[in-house]
Amino acid sequence: MAFDLNQWYFQKISGDIIYKYSGTVSSEKITESLNEVENSLRTSKVKFQKRKKVYNVLVECIQNLHHHADTPPLSAEVDIVPKFGIFVIAKDHSFYRISTGNFLKTERLIGIEDRLKMINSLSDEDLVVVYRDILNNEESTSKSTGLGLLDMIRKTGNKLEYYIYVHDDKYSFLSLDVYIS
C-alpha cells in the first residue's frame, strides 16, 4: 500500500499537542518554534530538568530537518518548498514525544539507515565512547557534526524510533520519534 502522509500526520498529532508545524524549516521558523515551545513548557510548570531535555532534543531534531531535509517531489501532497519538514511536540501520557518527518532522495537513505541502526544498537557506555570519539576526531561541516542523533539518545536514554516509507521510485519519507521520559 502506498505511503499516506495524511494518515501518518494524523497518528502523530495524537496526544496533548504542544506545537506542530509543516513547511520550510528555515532558521527564522526554528527560532519562532523554539520560543513558543519554551514558553509553553514554562507556563505548564514542567520541571526544569525535563524542560531542558525537551528543548535540547527539539533543537537537534529540527536543526536536523533544516540541514538534511530535501525539497519534496512534485507528487507529494504538500507544499513543494526547500527544507520541507514536519515536526510535532506532544505529551503522550508520562512522555514527551518529538516526531519529525521529511522527504529524502532514496539514494541518500542507505547511509542514514545504517547509521540509525548502528546508533540504536549501542549500549549506554559505548554511546559515550562513540560520542566522544566523533566529538574529538571527526571534522564537522557547517551542516553536520555527526553527533545530533547520538546526542538525542544520550539525553533521553531512549532509542530512536524511526521508519522509512517509500514514496516513489526516487523519494522516501523518513519518520522519527524521540521520547523523553
**Which residues contact another protein by CB under 8 A?**
27, 30-31, 34-35, 48-49, 52-53, 55-56, 59-60, 63, 66-67, 128, 131-132, 135-136, 140-142, 144-145, 147-148, 151, 154-155
Nearer to another protein, 155 or 159 (CB): 155
The DSSP string of 11-23 is HHT-SEEEEEEEE
Taking the C-alpha atoms of residue 120 and residue 60, their distance in angstroms, rounded to an integer, is 17
Q: All 3 cell numbers of residue 67?
A: 540541514
> Helix or strand or coil: residue 171?
strand
Q: How far is the CB of 6 from another protein (least distance, A)?
A: 29
Nearer to another protein, 49 or 94 (CB): 49
Q: How far is the CB of 157 from another protein (least distance, A)?
A: 11
Q: How far is the CB of 19 from another protein (least distance, A)?
A: 16
Q: How far is the CB of 117 from another protein (least distance, A)?
A: 20
Nearer to another protein, 57 or 174 (CB): 57
Nearer to another protein, 5 or 150 (CB): 150
Q: All 3 cell numbers of residue 154?
A: 544520550
Taking the C-alpha atoms of residue 117 and residue 57, their distance in angstroms, rounded to an integer, is 19
Nearer to another protein, 11 or 140 (CB): 140
Q: How far is the CB of 132 from another protein (least distance, A)?
A: 6
CA 178 to chain centre: 7
* Rounded alpha-carbon distances, angstroms, from residue 90 to 55, 125, 143: 13, 29, 27
Q: How many CA atoms lie within 13 A of 23 on its CB side?
A: 8
DSSP 147: -
